[in-house]
């Protein structure tokens, strides 16, 4: 975590990944995140996808780091009274529930705004809080499916299946793709808008209601493909458009190539200046003029002969040779790891610090996924490991003036 949001308190209400992912991103920026859970059944992400130790699953360890856990029964008037006392100290409320759930509990946006004009309320759901699908509960792949990121085909026997790339074997698909991409995509947009809303609040005194849909975020993050597809009928010069073959891409100068060690590099010398320099470095002056007359770039779309020439050149050396050449000679050629383990071993990724070692709740040396943004002078750190269910209830309520006797009574009554 950095310290960019130090002093900002976030209350998070919700289970599984939606609200939790927004909360952890704000925690990555230094916010004090309080995770509010039911005293009867907390966030059951703790027990999903295997466990490392009791009630500590890998997703829980990652998405609930930095946070403190408070158990409150919001269906009880005494629980709501404690919530409002805590709410007085809050800047942000993250709601990971379907539209209307917080309202039925008596802690929805209108009531929060009535009590605190400057509250920033972020509702993050799969399909959004408005529209005909707003009341449908969602899991990760459902958001991607609505966004068209899970294309399907129906086989002759009537079974539906997801289309995958023809050259990607299943173990690699599982390793690099989990179904949580939609949740992460929306959480980034949610955290971004929360930070902007805090700036507005400091300027005007007014908070904000932010409705974020994970499905819409997938579309937004895939804007390049969506833009080309939806506006294809307006394109007049189609010289460098992708050829819709089996791979969806026939750009010869912007393509994956296998190196001598069977590792893969992505060749992207599409600008004329890069192409000319590459041809010079590999002593192939005969290829320099193998380019279009466009002013700046040429993808060599569909040039099968040139593709074979490039493959013969690249396969003569190991991938590391081509990456070193690219770094030394200012060429857009990069590595293409095929598993997350290869990504973690890559020297550039190690330098960026995206993988961060710190203790998990049981004290194991855990590999966290950190932040892709590096803030100068503020090295990434995990403020605290993911909390146990209700771990910080006593500390938080004591800070609100609740006595030990009152805590015992509230526990006995199932309020906390």
CATH no. for residue 29?
3.40.50.10540
Q: Does residue 375 lie within any of the structural domains?
A: yes
The residues facing 70 across adjacent strands are: 36
Domain boundary among 320, 343, 366: 343
Q: Please tell me the predicted confidence (pLDDT) of residue 103.
A: 98
Q: Is 156 within a domain?
A: no
Tallying the residues shown for the chain, one arrives at: 416
What does the pLDDT read at residue 225?
A: 83
Give me the domain span that covers residue 379. 9-150+177-221+350-412
What residue spans of 250-386 are helical by DSSP H?
Answer: 272-281, 304-314, 319-329, 340-345, 347-352
Domain membership flag for residue 2: no
Residue 231 neighbours by CB under 8 Å, 6+ apart:
none
Closest CA to 400 of 111, 9, 114: 9
Per residue in 256-273, pLDDT (tens digit) is: 999 999 999 999 999 999
Whole-number pLDDT of residue 293: 76
In the chain, which stretches have pLDDT less than 70? 163-180, 239-249
- Establish if 387 belongs to a structural domain: yes
| Burial of residue 285, with CB atoms counted within 10 A of its CB: 0-12 exposed, 13-18 middle, 19 or more buried | exposed
Q: What is the structure's pLDDT at 245? A: 43
Confidence (pLDDT) at 70: 99
Same domain for 355 and 338?
no
302 and 182 share one domain: no
pLDDT digits (tens, 9 = 90+) for 178-208: 456 788 999 999 999 999 999 999 999 999 9
Structural domains of the chain, count:
2
Distance in angstroms (rounded) separating the CA atoms of residues 15 and 35: 10
In a domain, 169, yes or no: no
pLDDT of residue 242: 56
Residue 272's CATH number = 3.30.1540.10
């Amino acid at each position: 975590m950095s310290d960019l949001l130090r002093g900002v308190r976030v209350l998070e209400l919700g289970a599984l990944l939606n609200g939790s992912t927004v909360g952890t991103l704000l925690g990555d920026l230094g916010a004090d995140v309080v995770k509010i859970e039911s005293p009867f059944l907390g966030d059951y992400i703790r027990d999903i996808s295997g466990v490392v130790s009791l009630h500590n699953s890998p997703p829980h360890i990652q998405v609930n780091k930095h946070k403190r856990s408070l158990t409150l029964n919001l269906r009880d008037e005494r629980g709501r009274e404690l919530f409002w006392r805590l709410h007085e100290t809050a800047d942000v409320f993250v709601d990971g529930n379907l539209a209307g759930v917080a309202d039925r509990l008596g802690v929805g946006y209108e009531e929060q705004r009535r009590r605190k004009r400057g509250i920033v309320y972020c509702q993050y759901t799969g399909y959004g809080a408005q529209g005909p699908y707003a009341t449908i509960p969602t899991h990760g792949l459902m958001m991607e499916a609505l966004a068209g990121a899970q294309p399907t085909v129906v086989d002759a026997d009537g079974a539906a299946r997801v289309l995958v790339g023809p050259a990607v074997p299943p173990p690699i698909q599982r390793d690099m793709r989990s179904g949580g991409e939609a949740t992460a995509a929306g959480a980034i947009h949610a955290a971004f808008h929360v930070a902007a809303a805090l700036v507005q609040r400091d300027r005007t005194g007014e908070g904000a209601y932010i409705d974020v849909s994970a499905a819409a975020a997938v579309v937004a993050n895939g804007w390049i493909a969506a833009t080309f597809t939806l506006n294809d009928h307006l394109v007049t010069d189609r010289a460098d458009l992708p050829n819709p073959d089996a791979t969806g891409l026939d750009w010869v100068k912007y393509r994956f190539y296998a190196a001598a060690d069977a590792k893969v590099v992505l060749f992207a010398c599409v600008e004329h200046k890069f192409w000319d320099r590459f041809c010079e470095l590999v002593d192939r002056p005969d290829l320099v003029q193998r380019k279009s007359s466009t002013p700046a770039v040429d993808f060599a779309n569909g040039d099968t002969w040139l593709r074979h020439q490039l493959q013969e050149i690249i396969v003569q050396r190991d991938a590391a040779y081509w990456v070193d050449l690219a770094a030394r000679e200012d060429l857009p050629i990069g590595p293409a790891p095929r598993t997350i383990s290869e990504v973690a071993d890559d020297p550039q990724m190690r330098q960026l610090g995206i993988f961060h070692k710190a203790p998990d709740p049981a004290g194991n040396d855990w590999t966290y996924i950190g932040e892709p943004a590096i803030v100068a002078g503020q090295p990434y750190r995990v403020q605290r490991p993911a909390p146990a269910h209700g771990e910080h209830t006593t500390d938080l309520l004591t800070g609100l003036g609740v006595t030990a006797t009152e805590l015992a009574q509230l526990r006995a009554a199932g309020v906390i």
